[in-house]
């Protein structure tokens, strides 16, 4: 497999989005990030090693009366008949871009996106990567549950251990994001843990191989990232189209696109090609015209391609 890289797309940006200028963070390395997470987890595992610890209990005992509330909530928020769902990734910074925004209250930020009609919210637990922390994620969950109980809140961290999924469940998240390129074959175990504790897992993928692995493990939702976290953070604008062959027939897997999504032209193409939604970080957080962008994305209609095709968008 060779990524469909087109250097012209590197400079692609919508004139509509606000560019947040700052120094570029070029020293991001996924490997280092995972190592750091491993080190943090050593301590976390120690804190939760008692067999009667709440997280251990969650993982160890099958719930006889499972609550499918989160799964239903997630599915209906991500799949909007005839239109794209739009999610916001609430982060202060990004390992792969110049994004730097300041906010004290992630709950307030989440609420303002709820007011703008956002379909789902992603809250970041990894401070070093995205500038989010546990206060942020607790605030985000609490305020979204209060102001918009039907909007799912998704836990984003560098997830490598089932204990982190138990934490997401305990904090009342509706789903968790697991990166296929970080966990590799362990993905199946993490998906099984999700099933056991009734926490839907969204699998982030970049390549068709990762998508195949996710599908094999029974993933219900796939987030296709156009930025290749593993491959030096290279941007592959048309990568989402390269993966659709790996999906099982019957449209049973929910599919989302992320990674430098800024505008409606590209997003319309994703909609027409069968994707269910987009997840946007930099294009929304700190963008003063965020709510009009959300509205424009919501106004895109399936079967209304206009003049667009892959050839003139990319
Ligand atoms: O800010 P953007 O380009 O719209 O991207 C959002 C999201 O894709 C990004 O924050 C993200 C999703 N998964 C990740 C894993 C690692 C680093 C970053 C990410």
Domains and CATH numbers, the chain: 27-62+84-302 (3.20.20.70)
Structure confidence at residue 17 (pLDDT): 35
Element (H, E) at 129: helix 127-130
Q: Which of 18, 258, 279 to mutate to test the pocket of ligand 1 (most atoms within 8 A of CB)?
A: 258
Q: Which H or E element spans position 209?
A: helix 208-216
Backbone angles phi, psi at 234, to 5 degrees: -75, 145
Q: Which of 113, 162, 104 is nearest to 131 (CA)?
A: 104
**Strand, coil or helix: 92:** coil
C-alpha to C-alpha distance for 81 and 161, rounded to whole angstroms: 35
The ligand 1 atom nearest the CA atom of 229: 16
Counting ligand 1 atoms within 8 A of each CB, the residue from 20, 158, 279, 284 with the most, and so the one to mutate, is 279
Quick one: which atom of ligand 1 is closest to the CA of 283? 4
Query: Coil, strand or helix: which one is 305?
Result: coil
Separation of CA 93 and ligand 1 centre (Å)? 10
* pLDDT of 28: 62
Q: How far is the CA of 288 from the centre of ligand 1 (A)?
A: 20
Ligand 1 centroid to Cα of residue 94, in Å, is 7
Compute, in angstroms, the gap from residue 49 CA to the centroid of ligand 1. Answer: 32
Contacts of residue 60, defined as CB under 8 A and 6 or more positions apart, other chains included, come to 51
Helix (H) / strand (E) element for 147: namely helix 134-147
Q: Tell me the pLDDT of the chain (314 aa) as tens digits.
A: 344 443 333 333 333 333 333 333 444 678 888 999 999 899 899 999 999 999 999 999 887 788 889 999 999 999 999 999 999 999 887 666 777 777 778 899 999 999 999 999 999 887 666 555 667 788 899 999 999 999 999 999 999 999 999 999 999 999 999 999 999 999 999 999 999 999 999 999 999 999 999 999 999 999 999 999 887 888 999 999 999 999 999 999 999 999 999 999 999 999 999 999 999 999 999 899 999 999 999 999 998 766 667 777 77
Nearest CA to ligand 1 atom 6: 281
What are 180's two structure tokens? 């296929």
CA dihedral in degrees (65, 71, 76, 78; nearest 10)? 170
Q: What is d(CA 164, CA 126) in angstroms, rounded to the nearest whole number?
A: 12
Within 6 A (CB) of ligand 1 lie 89, 91, 94-97, 179, 204, 225, 229, 258-261, 279-283
Q: Beta strands of the chain (E only): which ranges? A: 85-90, 120-124, 153-156, 175-179, 201-205, 221-225, 227-228, 234-235, 254-258, 277-280
Quote the tokens at residue 30.
Answer: 């996924």
């Amino acid at each position: 497999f060779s990524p469909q890289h087109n250097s012209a797309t590197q400079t692609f940006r919508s004139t509509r989005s606000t560019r947040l200028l700052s120094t570029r963070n070029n020293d991001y390395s996924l490997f280092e990030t995972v190592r750091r997470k491993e080190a943090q987890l050593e301590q976390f595992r120690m804190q939760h090693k008692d067999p009667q610890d709440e997280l251990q209990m969650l993982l160890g005992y099958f719930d006889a009366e499972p609550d499918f509330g989160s799964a239903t909530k997630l599915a209906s928020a991500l799949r909007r008949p005839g239109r794209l769902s739009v999610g916001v990734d609430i982060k202060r910074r990004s390992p792969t871009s110049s994004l730097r925004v300041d906010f004290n209250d992630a709950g307030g930020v989440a609420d303002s996106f709820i007011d703008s009609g956002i379909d789902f919210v992603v809250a970041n637990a990894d401070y070093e990567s995205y500038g989010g922390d546990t206060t942020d994620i607790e605030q985000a969950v609490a305020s979204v549950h209060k102001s918009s109980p039907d909007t799912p809140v998704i836990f984003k961290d560098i997830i490598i251990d089932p204990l982190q999924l138990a934490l997401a469940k305990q904090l009342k998240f509706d789903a968790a994001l697991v990166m296929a390129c970080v966990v590799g074959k362990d993905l199946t175990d993490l998906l099984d843990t999700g099933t056991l504790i009734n926490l839907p897992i969204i699998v982030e993928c970049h390549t068709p191989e990762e998508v195949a692995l996710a599908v094999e493990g029974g993933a219900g939702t796939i987030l296709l990232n156009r930025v290749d976290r593993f491959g030096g953070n290279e941007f592959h604008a048309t990568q989402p189209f390269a993966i659709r062959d790996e999906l099982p027939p019957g449209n049973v897997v929910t599919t989302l696109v992320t990674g430098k999504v800024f505008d409606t032209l590209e997003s319309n193409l994703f909609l027409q090609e069968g994707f269910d939604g987009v997840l946007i970080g930099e294009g929304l957080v700190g963008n003063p015209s965020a709510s009009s962008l959300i509205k424009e994305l919501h106004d895109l209609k399936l079967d209304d391609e206009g003049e667009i095709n892959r050839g003139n968008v990319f």
